[in-house]
Amino acid sequence: MVPDAKSPGPDSPSPREQAPAEQATGPGAAGRPARPLTRREREYRRHQHEAEQAAERLLAVKDYRDITVQDIATEVEFSVGYLYRLFTNKDQIFAAIISRRQREVFELVVEIVESRAPAHERWHRLIREFFAWAERHAAYSAGSFRSLQHLILGDPELLRAAIAERDRMTEVLISLCKDSIEEGVLRARDPERIARTLRAVTAGFIKEEILDRQLSGSTRARLSCDQIAELVERILFRTFGPEVPDGTSR
């Protein structure tokens, strides 16, 4: 018998994420939804998801390259043999984690950008929710900056997906930049430059102010997510905000 998985840790996905899909993938008959999953299929997907959560938790304490299938099996309390029934190898587990997290972030950004709120309010919410997400999932965020890059760069399919995700995210941010220019929130400069600058500044703060301290156990005073978001927002609007008569930014 496969033991129950451990209780989720502080870096585990929210309850909304924990429930696996309840319908089989792929198109059903014309005009009909995909069939519901059987009990066995639901259990199989639930165990896959539990294994992914366990592997992601290990990123908080180990480099991806040092994590073994045995480590994951021990963490999730499955046998190694059963884990190999769920996934072909370790890379497949982490590829599933990467795909899920990339999709999750993209959906978060799209939901905020496509809201009807004024551009300034969308920027405010976007920056704060993004940093809050990065802190909630610090283990994954750390892995994406460190060893998971080796997996992505070594797998053509994952690399293509990562590039596509980056480009899609940039396009969504560019659309917000264009709205901001129309509303007078940002100066009429190249929207792509603004979007790429924001991504670079955000990545730097995530690495320095969230990950390096949280995962290294640093005791130096740390900024809260709100404080970090306020700094990033200030950088964005002081650099690209509308000019006042003396030629400086607001």
41: Cβ contacts below 8 Å, ≥ 6 apart: 24
* Straight-line distance from the first to the last Cα atom of the chain, in angstroms, rounded to the nearest whole number: 64
CA neighbor of 139 nearest in space, from 98, 168, 109, 82 = 98
- Residue 35: pLDDT band (50, 70, 90) is confident
Evaluate whether 64 touches 150 at the Cβ level (below 8 Å).
yes
Taking 80 as the threshold, does the pLDDT of residue 158 lie above it? yes
Domain assignments of the chain as residue spans, ordered by start: 15-23+35-87, 91-240
Classify residue 223 as left (phi > 0), alpha (psi -120 to 50) or beta: beta
91-240 matches 15-23+35-87 in CATH topology: no
What is the spatial distance between Cα 225 and Cα 209, in angstroms, rounded to a whole number?
A: 9
Domain 91-240 coded CATH 1.10.357.10 = yes
Identify the DSSP state of 240.
Answer: H
Q: What is the pLDDT of residues 50-88, one digit of tens each?
A: 999 999 999 988 889 999 999 999 999 999 999 999 999
Evaluate whether 70 touches 55 at the Cβ level (below 8 Å).
no
186: Cβ contacts below 8 Å, ≥ 6 apart: 119, 177, 180, 194, 237, 240, 241, 242
Report pTM.
0.77
∠ CA 97-100-105, nearest 5°, is 120
Weakest-pLDDT range from 23-37, 40-54, 86-100: 23-37
**Domain covering 15-23+35-87, topology:** Arc Repressor Mutant, subunit A (1.10.10)
